[in-house]
Structure 1
Amino acid sequence: MMLSDMERLVQLLARLPGLGPRSARRAALHLIKKRESLMLPLASALGEAAANIRNCSVCGNLDTADPCGICRDPRRDTATICVIEGVADLWALERTAAFKGRYHVLGGTLSALDGIGPEQLNIDGLVKRAADPAVTEVILAMGATVDGQTTAHYIMDRLAGLDVKVTRLAHGVPVGGELDYLDDGTLTAALRARRPL
């Protein structure tokens, strides 16, 4: 059975994260209603993005240039590499404007259940970059999940023989957080990561 153009559009939109079938139908109807001002420019932008955006060969970021803008920026600190699971994490850190070093995107985390081993991640590239004498610190910014922690421990083992300081992001009480709303794991991590004032 052939799908109509509308059904195909709804099915494709439903594949996006956060959109179920009902939300995809609403989005498709909105796009059709705003064909000239939204749908056609969106289709053009999607085509250009598909043709031009690629992974940076140095860090794994997404950009239209290779190396990416962050890797080419001479103002960035070349001595510090922040290791992250995906590009969304890079964007989150860049939003803070608190980190001025370079990044390394792994492309996920180790996960035995999903069949993701070290070969599927960009860990060898990280080890090669960390071996550069100009690099003095590698920050592990993995999520506080079992897979994130497993990946961080694996990377620490791989970097053990190099002359580089390995640090990790602090875990614990968020700014503005109230203790009675936090889960046990977060409170435990906060107690273990306490520091003097």
Structure 2
Amino acid sequence: MKNKLKEHIVKLIPLSDNEFSFVLSHFNIEKYKKNEFLIQEGEDVNHCYFVISGLLKLVFNDANGKQHIVSFAMEDWWESDFLAYFEQTKAKMSLQCVEDTEVYSISLKNYYKLSSKMPKIERFFLKKSHSGHIASQNRILSFLTSNAKERYVQLLKQQPILFQRVPKTLLASYLGVSRETLSRLSS
């Protein structure tokens, strides 16, 4: 398990075994069952999560009670309600397990401590942040410029594994369509 985190980091920056041991000392391993929450709307957000195994969904519930899936996070992905995590405010979103999930968690205190003591890890986090920001902008642009069919095809091309691991109701929410529309798109 610890090798998964090291393999993930060394894709972007080199780390010796001693450096990785120091990095690892700032994380905790946590296990969650399907449907359990790592973060619930309205609560404090104390951790950011790296997914070792399993699948998470980040959800926003609007004023009408409609659930909007902001993202899915599977193996080798980082997830949290980042606004609440970095600003130390209450969660606006919930993070819930779609499958049994195992994660590394890092508190904000440890995130800053680790970043200040190891500039190369700070660069790693910056690169991951850039990637996440770009992905978010691409998702927004997709909603602004693509119809439902185009978004479906794009997701199928970029993340085909989601279609095997995620119930159609959740995929429909992520794509911003009804379950019935998703059935028509997939036939």
The TM-score bracket by the shorter chain reads under 0.3
| Larger relative contact order (Cα-Cα within 8 Å, sequence gap ≥ 6) | 2
Query: Higher strand proportion, which one?
Result: 2
- Normalised by the length of structure 2, the TM-score is 0.28
The structure whose Rg is larger is: 1
